Amino acid sequence: SCEVLEAIENVIEDVVKSLAQKKAPVLTLANRSGWRNIEFKDSVGLQMIPHCTTKQIRSDCPRSAPKFALMLKILSMIYKMVQTNTYATKRDIYYSDTLLFGSQSVVDNVINDISCMLKIPRRSLHILSTTKGFVAGHLSYTEEDGTKVNCTCGATAVTVPSNVQGIKNLISHAKFMLIVEKDATFQRLLDDDFCNKLSPCIMITGRGVPDLNTRLLVRKLWDTFQIPIFTLMDADPHGVEIMCIYKYGSVSMSFEAHHLTVPSIKWLGLLPSDLKRLNIRKDVLIPFTKQDQNKLASIQKRPYIACQPMWKKELEIMAASKLKAEIQVLTSLSSDYLSRVYLPNKLQFGGWL
């Protein structure tokens, strides 16, 4: 907390110095909106280059002055929270003055900019994001306030903790971890008692694009247990994108890559090549939209695809067919095909990339 307070004091000191010299104060932060400042490193994923281009949030420019004011406002809120050892969610911050902030996305963006400017992870700023992910399976841990949590598979899952950094005493006998893209598939596997049937495992879903807490938990479980991690995604560009976020990170959060990515993650399914191998009927597949084509083309150009020849091949199959499939397509073979046949065979015979 001393580090956070000092970093904020340094920013404010610069503002005061500028004012004393009758200059317009300026906030400088790394430009995190494009690929120019990003490098790909196999062991980390997407990370910011050491000497990246910066952008200035000026107080004397009509376009950036409102943002300058909002950054100072949220910096003062963070300073107070760190001093009093209290926490707030991004939602709490937005609702503290909805007229001033205008929208939740404005708050989210300013918080990420502050985290990037101070070079301090968001959770150290005492800001918690609301969690949407679920975890289930052979895992128990203690939350920061002493609450004991047991995720052992029942028909219900446990919400991913909102302060992943604070959990301790993690215990698990799981042999592997399965990240599931969608909530519906996750619930189906829970109903089929998948966590216990094959061999003990941990299942996690970010319910689509994962929030920060879900990604932090995946990374924490990897650091703690070093067990294989597999992903189960739709065979479409959106599913591939989500898997890449878990494995390699995202451009906008590349300044935090070291705490968030798990480059050892494997693509278990649904692979585009599986559709042909399993004789999935064409009429249950979905034609590509223009958006799908653009998304796939942009993924194929990314630096990490070059070092994944097998992934490259799968993406080429997808591009050639111009068809996509949801995981639910497997129910066209039988209602429990996913948990009874598909996953056990894949895990037993090494059908992952």
Closest CA to 268 of 179, 136, 196, 153: 179
**278 preceded by cis ω (within 30°)?**
no
Strands 127-128 and 88-89, by their bridges, are: parallel
Q: Active-site residues: which are they? A: 95
DSSP label at 302?
S
What is the distance of C-alpha 271 from the center of its chain? 21
Q: CA 350, CA 157: separation in Å to the nearest integer?
A: 27
CB count within 10 Å of CB 44 equals 16
Helix axes 65-84, 104-118, angle to 10 degrees: 70
Helix axes 290-300, 309-321, angle to 10 degrees: 160
Q: CA 106, CA 345: separation in Å to the nearest integer?
A: 46
Element housing 128 (H / E): strand 127-128
Contact assessment for residue 25 and residue 13, using Cβ atoms and an 8 Å cutoff: no
Taken as a whole, the chain contains a residue count of: 353
Identity of the residue numbered 244: C
What are residue 220's phi and psi, to 5 degrees? -65, -40
Residue 185, SS3 per DSSP: helix
The residues, any chain, with a CB within 8 Å of residue 261's CB and separated by 6 or more, are 44, 45, 46, 215, 219, 246, 247, 248, 249
